[in-house]
Each structure stands twice: as C-alpha cells, then as structure tokens.
Structure 1
Amino acid sequence: MSLEQLKLEEDDLRKEIAALSQDQKKAYYQTEEKLVKDPDTYAVLNYFFLAGLHHFYLEKYAHGLVNLVVMLFGLLFIQSFGIVLFVVIILIELPQLFRSQSIVQRYNNEVMKSTLRQVQNIA
C-alpha cells in the first residue's frame, strides 16, 4: 500500500472515531496514545542501530531478534565473513529506512483499527 493509500485509510478511520460517543472517544484516545509510534523514531533507530532496534520499536520481536543475532554474529566474526553480514543487513534495512513513513503509518493504522474495534465492542 502506498503512503497516500495509508493516509486515506487513516482518514476513514478518523471518521469512524468521530462517530463514537464521548465516552468511547475518551477510551479510544487514551488507548491509542499509548500504542501509536513515531515514524521519525523508527527511522532514527534504523539509521543508527542496524541491529534491529527499529523492529523492537514496532513490536516485531522475532524480526528484531534475527537482526540482532546476525549483527552480533557479524561482529564476532568480523575478521572472516562478518563484513559480508554487515553488507547484507545494510542492503535489507536500507529500503526500510526510506519507507519508514509508510511502515509506521501501516502499523499505526492497524493500532487504530484494533483500538476502534475494542472500544466499539465495549458499548
């Protein structure tokens, strides 16, 4: 999904949220505030820490753990093929850095959807 499509999806979700009762809106925003993520934080974590911290930030623990293990393995064997592992990680992670806005927008839209469903089911 493109960033524009994700923003349109967010607009649709915001319209649904606007239709909630005052109590539901209050519950929604209290929950959403704790769960949404900042695209700039994700990008900074990706840029400075190729070890997968940006995946942990979006609660993708398995992906983050794989990155972390591969990075540590690369550091351990830096003399032999560790450089190759670093290059592979950079080649995999660099596109994610450039797509950080859409990656986090998708994550936040999913948070909004699940929070909205939760609040609607409480009513």
Structure 2
Amino acid sequence: MNISELEKEEDNLRKEVTALSPEQRRKYYEIEGSKLKDPDTYAALNWFFIAGLHHFYLKKHVKGSIVIILSIYAIFTLFDYGWILLLVLSLIELPQLFFSQRIVKKYNNKVIKQTLIDVIKENSVRQN
C-alpha cells in the first residue's frame, strides 16, 4: 500500500471514530493515545538498524530479537565473515528507514481498526 492509500484509509477510519457516541469516543481516545506510534521516533530508532530497536518500537519482538542476535554474532565474527552478515542486515534493514512514514502509518491504521472494534464490542456487551 502506498502512502496516499494509507492516508485515505486513515481518513475513513477517523470518520468512523467521529460517528461513535461521545462515551465511545472518549473510551476510544483513551485507548488510542497509548498505542499509536510516532514515525519520527521509529526513524530515529532505525538509525540504529543494526540493533533492531525500531522493531521493538512497533511490538515486533521476534524480528527485533533476531536482528539483535545476528548483529551481535556479526560483530564478534567481524574479521572472519561477520562483515558480510552486517552488510546483508544493512541491506535488509536500510529500506525501512526510507519507508518509516508508510510503515508506521500502516501500524497505526491497524491500531485504529482494532481499537474501534474493541470499543464497539465493549459497548455492545455492556448493552446486553
């Protein structure tokens, strides 16, 4: 998905949020505020792409752990063939720096969708 499609999706989701009742909107914004991520923070963490910190920021713990383990291994074997592993990791991770806006917007749209579902579901359970 390109950035304009993601922005259009976000606009549609925001319209759904606006259609919620005042109580549901209050609950929605309570939940959303703690879950949405900032693209600039992601990009800043991505500067340390060898460490994989940006994966942890978006709750991709397995991927982040794999990158950290491979990075540490590559550093310890740097003078053998570790530099090749560092190069491969760099080639895999570097594009994420350039697409950080799109990656975080996609993550945030998922959060918005899930939060909407949770708020609507919680409201319907309380009404029954």
Which TM class, normalised by the smaller chain length?
over 0.9
Aligned to 1:5: 5
Aligned to 2:121: 121
Distance 1:7 1:38 in 2: 15
Matches within 5 A, 1:37-116: 37-116=37-116
Contact 2:49 2:94 in 1 (8 A): no
Q: Secondary structure at the match of 1:16?
A: helix
Q: Which amino acid aligns with 2:122?
A: I
Give the aligned CA root-mean-square deviation in angstroms. 0.8
Q: Which amino acid aligns with 1:42?
A: Y
Q: Which amino acid aligns with 2:37?
A: K
TM-score between both structures, scaled by the size of structure 2 = 0.93
Question: Can you give the 5+ residue segments of structure 2 that lack an aligned partner in the other structure?
Answer: 124-128
Report % sequence identity. Answer: 49
> How many pairs align?
123
Q: Which amino acid aligns with 1:89?
A: L
TM-score between both structures, scaled by the size of structure 1 = 0.97
- Greater Rg over alpha carbons, structure: 2
**Shift in Å, 1:22:** 0.7
